[in-house]
Structure 1
């Protein structure tokens, strides 16, 4: 049988290419190992004995349980390194390596910060302090405050701002003032530090808080009593009788570590012993904020605030002729308060509960008026509306007559913006001596008491007419612009060119 030409050509082509070498082999791309998987643990997990046994065998069931239990171990977890300032810097480490050391910032939502605080460790929640910066901080504290530079004062202030126990007790301004008075004290191992005269912050070393215990002096096997002869400097004993001693013993659990605090600047008489004193386990550097410096700060704040109140009340129109002694009676009972915008201080027809002296901001004054509102089907309805009549500005007061004469306010007072004012409560006003109250009645006047009903109605009519005129003007302008094909924001004239002609010598718009 003759062979067809097409198979012959295919056979010839196959013979022709039989001597052609195969194409070169290409290497497979390397697999990128994941950084979050422990491949050694994964390999061991896949080769658990009994995993490939019969489906109904007990060995397979045990292997399956072991697989499920060990499965989470194949995932690598990043180790959280808690930042810590070591007690002694290794001399072999160069300053360059210390500077390059990275400190992870502890954020407020990081649970590790709260765990360290609960265990007595550092609880700084802002950017961490490097070794060099911390050493410089210690050197600054060893200087007397009068010898520190402005830069050194600012550095101490910034580090104190990073200690939550201090920021929770003091404002930023108070902490800035106290930072210029803090000092550092060095205590040797085994010292008992009593925090009666200030607030203490542990900078280096470790200490234990003291707790109160009662021990019998008769028992010979009492380890605490027998240790009194060896370490008597650790304890403070107050004998209640001949057989029982009240001892202050260092606790093994209540440990104070770096940045921990003890002592107090407030209510020191009611302070518990564990918060008042510690016993050092090592040589320690302790920062001290003296209680007397804090008392000076409070006195300066009170003095400055009273001077502001005196200046504010004296500048109010009703008190310009008052004697200084009478104004000081008001200064001693008033206090500053802040009110947000839109806060209703007093409503019309009610007796106000305080006297206000506006230090900053302003208050709007409104009067009630009965107005008519159009309803469908040619009907009207009477409603009460507030009419703006003016404002109370800075260095003005209100509320004196309403409290002393128990007269209801004739207007509504609403803050126009955030307002700071000195406030005297009504009970404090009523407790003033009769001379001061009579002087206040004679000099003060009702707030916007000169307004009559005719003035309020006239102002209401003006506001309604202005509103109607504004509405009519806007509607008329919109109708005229729309009828002439003018759209606001797209020019005054209308043209129909789809594109701008090139090389146009004549203007695009002709004025006729």
Structure 2
């Protein structure tokens, strides 16, 4: 059975079953079908009502039209399966091997249009040259009309031409690699800060060979700075809150001081403020300590006369988590003592201009809670301390001189014994506090 004879055989089968005259063959569409029949549809097609009604022509014609329309449904059409289109395997540069990278690099270097673009613009970070050699780009102006200095001769001399800008009809502006400004190993270009006005030679280079460059992105550096500021603010908040004058302060007011403070380190022996001066900052000691001295006029007995001199008397120290300078700045009152660092001191300081710019409520709160540094000391206290120090010094001098005189009169020299012993061993019954037993 062929595809062209299949419809005729089917019609013959239907005629034999239903004893129905066949419709005109010219009205049956000739379809190219496969040899697969849906017998359920064929059975429904054979039992269409009206095909056996020869007398009722209208019913027969309607059944005939239905037959013609449903006739193609008896054939099972296989779905066309298109061949699968293979998906291209995407291999990103990060997954390439060293051999593949070298191959791509050599291939790209042979393309002049790409070779002329081997440059780096450092406008989004700081770049550090680890290996290789590069040249900085400089701005050059060339004339288009002078024969001696034409643009053609300029291009031939400079070997690379970038970013050409025609300023007017006679002058052209472009950037070329400098022969003198080079970037070698550990050289840098670009910036860690956003600088729109950065000069071209600071931010742009042209590589001469294979270069390995380390990049520090500006955005990531900004994140690090924000994290550092956040940690420092938390440390300053903890420091100020633990100072005695600020234990009862509201958090909002302390945050205002935190935003104005900065950490600073002072070396040992540094004079922070002298007696009689107004200090220029408020200090919050984070580590180390400061010695407090008061001035006093003392008498020095010279050979022929007594002279008055100013001396510093040690009166105490400022320790960690203590502050000073608030009253001196707010009331513009001179310090009554001298403050000198005893060892390296780290402090959070607030400049006097920032303290004076605080809102009136915060300044009044600071005046009410803070106290002058060692303001409880009176002149009598300083004199008594000075007399005590002088007496201790005189007694020490007298004691040492007396003991030394006794030693010399008895022939005793410190560090030398008066008798010598030739004992090979120390007797067991010999006990002396001057001998150390081993």
Settle same-fold status: TM greater than 0.5.
yes
Task: Work out whether residues 144 and 150 of structure 2, in 8 Å CA contact, stay in contact via their aligned partners in 1.
Answer: no
The match for 1:334 is: 261
Residue of structure 1 in register with 2:416 after alignment = 490
Matched, 1:412 2:329: no
Name the counterpart of 2:222.
295
- Contact between 1:214 and 1:244, CA under 8 Å: does it hold in 2? yes
Deviations 1:153-179 (A, max 9, x none): xxxxxxxxxxxxxxxxxxxxxxxxxxx
Give the match for residue 119 of structure 2: 192
Checking the alignment, whether the CA contact within 8 Å between 1:208 and 1:250 is kept in structure 2 is yes
CA distance in 2, matches of 1:453, 1:292: 59
- The alignment's TM-score, normalised by the length of structure 1, stands at 0.56
Is the contact made by 1:373 and 1:383 (CA closer than 8 Å) also made in structure 2?
Answer: yes
Are 1:350 and 2:295 counterparts?
no
Shift in CA distance, 502/466, structure 1 to aligned 2, threshold 3 Å: closer
Work out the CA distance in 2 between the residues paired with 1:371 and 1:241.
83
**What is aligned with 1:157?**
none
**Partner residue, 2:235:** 308
Structure 1 residues 380, 276: closer, same or farther in 2, change over 3 A? closer
CA offsets per residue over residues 343-389 of structure 1, 9 Å max, x none?
A: 22222222222211111111111122233332335x53433322211
C-alpha separation in 2, matches of 1:403 and 1:462: 33
For the 8 Å contact 1:234–1:279, the answer to whether it is kept is no
Matches within 5 A, 1:459-474: 459-474=385-400
Report the Cα distance in structure 1 between the residues aligned to 2:395 and 2:416, rounded to whole angstroms. 27
- SS in structure 2 opposite 1:278? strand
Number of positions where the alignment pairs a residue of Structure 1 with one of Structure 2: 323
Q: Are the aligned partners of 1:192 and 1:233 in contact in 2 as well (CA < 8 Å)? A: no
The change in CA–CA distance for 1:375 and 1:192 in structure 2 (over 3 A counts) is closer
SS of the aligned residue for 1:370 comes to strand
**Distance of 1:324 and 1:280 partners within structure 2:** 55
Whether contact under 8 Å (2:142, 2:154) holds in the other structure is no
Q: Distance in 2 between matches of 1:278 and 1:364?
A: 55
Report the alpha carbon displacement of residue 399 of structure 1 after superposing the two structures with TM: 0.9
CA deviations on 1:202-245 (whole Å, 9 max, x unpaired) are: 3444433222123345679977458989x999511233345543
Deviation at 1:505, TM superposition (A): 8.7
The residue number in structure 2 matching 1:453 is 379
Q: Is the 8 A contact 2:237 2:255 kept in 1?
A: yes
Go from structure 1 to structure 2 and tell me whether the alpha carbon gap of 1:375 and 1:238 turns closer, same or farther (over 3 Å shift).
same
**SS of residue in 2 equivalent to 1:251:** strand
Q: Is the contact made by 1:192 and 1:234 (CA closer than 8 Å) also made in structure 2?
A: no
Q: Does 1:365 align with 2:292?
A: yes
Q: Distance in 1 between matches of 2:145 and 2:311?
A: 87
| Change in CA separation of 1:510 and 1:414 when aligned onto 2, cut-off 3 Å | closer
Out of 298, 321, 331, the residue aligned to residue 395 of structure 1 is 321
5+ residue gaps, structure 2: 1-92, 96-104, 110-114, 434-438
- Alpha-carbon distance, 1:456 to partner: 1.7
1:404-443 to 2 correspondences below 5 Å: 404-443=330-369
Q: Does 1:286 align with 2:196?
A: no
- Classify the secondary structure of the residue corresponding to 2:136: strand
What SS does the corresponding residue of 1:327 show, helix, strand or coil?
A: helix
Q: Which residue of 2 aligns with 1:130?
A: none
Determine which structure has more spread, i.e. the larger CA radius of gyration: 2
Measured against aligned partners, the alpha-carbon deviations of 1:245-266 in whole angstroms (never above 9, x if no partner) come to: 3211233444444444322223
Aligned to 2:303: 376
Q: Name the CA distance, whole Å, in 1 between partners of 2:424 and 2:211.
A: 86
Provide the C-alpha distance between the structure 2 equivalents of 1:510 and 1:314, rounded to a whole number of angstroms: 59
Structure 1 unaligned spans of 5+: 1-141, 145-185
Q: Give, in whole Å, the separation in 1 of the partners of 2:395 and 2:359.
A: 55
CA distance in 1, matches of 2:301, 2:146: 97
Give the match for residue 47 of structure 1. Answer: none
Q: What's the CA shift string for 1:256-289, capped at 9, x where partnerless?
A: 4444432222363232212221223344433322
Alpha-carbon distance between aligned partners in 2 of 1:503 and 1:210, rounded to the nearest angstrom:
88
Alignment pair present for 1:214 and 2:104: no
Q: CA deviation at 1:415?
A: 1.5
CA distance in 2 between partners of 1:201 and 1:194 (Å): 13
- Kept in 1: contact 2:143–2:150 (CA 8 A): no
Does the 8 Å contact 2:142/2:150 carry over to 1? Answer: no
In 2: Cα distance, 1:409 partner to 1:380 partner:
29
Tell me the residue number matched to 1:128: none
